[in-house]
Amino acid sequence: MKKILAAAAVSLAILPAPALAQIDSASVERGADGSLTLSWTAQGPVDVYVATTPDAMPADAEPVSMDDEDGMHIYQPASEAGRTYFVLAGIDGDVRHAAARVLPLEGGRNFRDLGGYPAMDGMSVRWGRLYRSGAMHELTAADYHYLSGLDIAVICDFRANQERIDEPTDWQAGAVDMMNWDYEMDMSSLGAAFGGDMSPERSAAAMTAFYRQMPVAYGDRYAQMFQRIAAGDLPMTFHCSAGKDRTGLAAALILSALGVPRDVILDDYAMSDDLVDYMADLREAREQADPDSPNAFWAQLPEAVIAPFMASDPAYLAAALDQIEADHGSVEAYLQDELGVTDAALAAMRSSLLE
């Protein structure tokens, strides 16, 4: 019997370790208790690590699950920890990073990372380089403590003069270069919704027309944003008030430049509806009856008429991109012709933002 057991032990000892798999995709969701659920797809086991920096490699990270084959790992960060990044290691040195997209901010509005999306040539967008957001005037001390660990270098604020006055940003997360522009909002293209009989259909048509004008109307601001990205002035946060319209098109242009598929870009845009209840904000403005509120004008209108303006309907963004393609042939041609983004600038962007 002892000889049989010994032979079995020798046989097991010489079996090869499981081959790590090629990693196809990975995503992270944050639970109500702060736990992080990492999910991935791979044909075989992977090694899972956690790190506090977005570019960490396995040698610099903490192992939490080796030869993991079930495609899921739940991790509970320490309460005082900063942002958690996962590092998945697969076959032939294949490494993929993942993090929770939406930042856990008490006073944040639609503040999220553009990392992790599939891009050109089988690469993906790096985490911790580009963030999109809405207005940041309600960020708390705890939020700024969290944000201070992200090393944000540039904030690109697309808001008009009065918007910045009404909801000023008091950035307290380290030295940052604030970009903004001296202009007043031109809402004339939305006026069609308020002449004659108001209806949700007219509101949606006005929003579609507004989006078709945005690539030219905001081209100078987008051009300067691209210049900073190409120069490597990262990490960057870009935002407007709601974080869905001017910001949404900016995100779409960046992701398009990186070769992210159109359906993924539209899904990222539509995510705003899941993260912010814009109609609730308007109801609050109506209840407060504050004539100086940025939402005062909208609050007096019927909700059915307002709703299309508050929505992140993928059809709006698709209209802007369709207009770009009709005018220039492609988004890349628009970037070059309208925004002055050179081939060298595009190559620099892709080098710093893709992995």
Q: Are strands 177-179 and 236-239 parallel, antiparallel or unpaired?
A: unpaired
| Phi, psi for 177 (deg, rounded to 5) | -95, 115
Report the Cα 296 to chain-centroid distance in Å.
29
Q: Is 156 a catalytic residue?
A: no
Closest CA to 354 of 131, 130, 129, 126: 126
Q: Where are the alpha helices (DSSP H) in 158-271?
A: 161-166, 200-217, 219-230, 246-257, 262-270
- For residues 340 and 223, the answer to whether their CB atoms sit within 8 Å is yes
| Phi, psi for 56 (deg, rounded to 5) | -60, 145
Token representation of residue 171:
């950035």
Query: Could you count the other beta carbons within 10 Å of the beta carbon of residue 58?
Result: 16
Report the Cα 267 to chain-centroid distance in Å.
11
SS3 336: helix
SS3 74: strand
The H or E element containing residue 284 is: helix 278-288
Residue 258 DSSP code: T
Rounded distance between C-alpha atoms, residue 331 and residue 226, angstroms: 13
Q: Which of 95, 240, 260, 299 is catalytic?
A: 240
Which residue's structure tokens are 């407007």? 240
Strand order in the sheet with 46-51: 62-68, 46-51, 85-89, 95-98
Token representation of residue 36:
């992080």
Residues marked as catalytic:
240
